[in-house]
Structures are given as structure tokens and as C-alpha cells.
Amino acid sequence: MSTHRAKFRRTYGNRETAEGQGCLSGFILPPLVALVVGVSFLLFLSKFSPTTGQAVSIQNNIPVTGNGMLSPIFTPEVQFWQSDILRWAAEFGLDPNLVATVMQIESCGNPDAQSSAGATGLFQVMPFHFLAFDNPYDPDTNAQRGMAYLQRSLAAAGGDAALALAGYNGGISIISLPQSEWAAETQRYLYWGSGIYADASSGSVESPRLNEWLSHASGMCARARIRLNLP
């Protein structure tokens, strides 16, 4: 265990479906046309940044090409955990930059982060992933459970880092579904995560996508900075 982490130990103890007719009668055709038009419009909107409205290219099919090093693009709150990220990544056979990308957008390095849905810790792991006597706020425990799921997601995605990130957020089962059927939250997660990871993997020293994310998540990183006692 890294010495700087010792101070973070703490004690914590049917969707309904309407029955339809068996044929496309004249009464249901207009609603069907409206549905098709609506879906097409949503697909059109998915080509735009969720924050700027500018057209973007969602980066799918990103292979994992890590070199065992952590990119400098990540914020100081995530860099704080660098030695741990390298250790966790090695343990689960993951690229450190993929691990750091998840930590960046999940908690910005705050080991006490908690979502309204009940996800906790550095990697925002849901309660049902923990064992009975686990401390979900312990960094090692949180990483063990979160990285095991990321590892499974990456395997299900055939090594595609972007799909693995989507599976981490929305559940591994969504990987086999068309992107148009994903929840809006997962669409956004793919946008942020795939862009940040692509920048980290390219050897860049700065990430435009991360800077864009920070303009909307500065509060998360401010809380992490205070929790980690960083300047």
C-alpha cells in the first residue's frame, strides 16, 4: 500500500409494454412515421457535442495501445494517484491511461466521491459490486471492484477502449446494442471518455476534450483537491 493512502482509510460499514395490433393499420401508421422521424432527428443530434453544439466525431474503435506510462494530460488530482494507477493497471492488464480516464471522469481522484445513484469512491462503483465486508471507500478495494468490471467490459468490447468505457457506464450488456439505443448519460460518457483517452494515448501534453470536460466539472475537481490537501 502506498504510504500516502493510509490517511484515506475510513470505516463505513418490468418495464410495461403496450400491446399493439398485428398489422400496420391506417390508424397507427402516422404515429410510426413520427417515431421514425423522431429517432432520425436524435441520431442527427448525436453527431454534435453535448456542450457546444458543434459537430464532432465520436471516437469509436479505439484500440488499447498503452505503453505502461501515465499521460501528463490528467489533472493533478488524478496524477496524485499515479503510482497506484500504474499498480492497478498492471494487476488487471489494463492501460494506465484507460484507468486514469475512468478515474478522471468518475471522481477526479476523490476517494470519498458519492453519486446520487449510490456509486462510491475513486471509480464510482455501485454497491452490488462489493462483498459483504468490503469498505467501498478504501482505494484498493474500490479499484479492485471497479477495474475487474472494466476488464470484463474491455473483453466484451473486443479490446475497443471506447466501447469498454460505454460498458463501464451503462452496463456491459449495452455493448452489443446500437449506440442509438444507449441512454443519454452513456452517450455523454462515451464522448468525454473516448476523447480524453484518445488524447492521452496520442502522446499529447494537453487534451482539448479534457479541458472541455473541466469547464463543466470544475466543482468535482475542487472537492477532490480539498480532500487530497493539494494546493
Q: For residue 199, what is the DSSP state?
A: H
User: CB of 154 within 8 A of CB of 161?
Assistant: yes
| 196 CB-contact burial (10 Å; exposed 0-12 / middle 13-18 / buried 19+) | buried
Phi-psi region of 93 (alpha: psi -120 to 50; beta: other; left: phi over 0): left
* CA dist 226 → 30, 90, 134, 190, 196 (Å): 56, 29, 25, 28, 24
Q: Is 106 an annotated catalytic residue?
A: yes
User: Which residue among 19, 106, 185, 206 is the active-site one?
Assistant: 106
User: CB of 48 within 8 A of CB of 58?
Assistant: no
How many residues are present in the chain? 231
User: CB of 149 within 8 A of CB of 89?
Assistant: no
User: CB of 113 within 8 A of CB of 222?
Assistant: no
User: CB of 85 within 8 A of CB of 100?
Assistant: yes
Give me the active site residues, please. Answer: 106
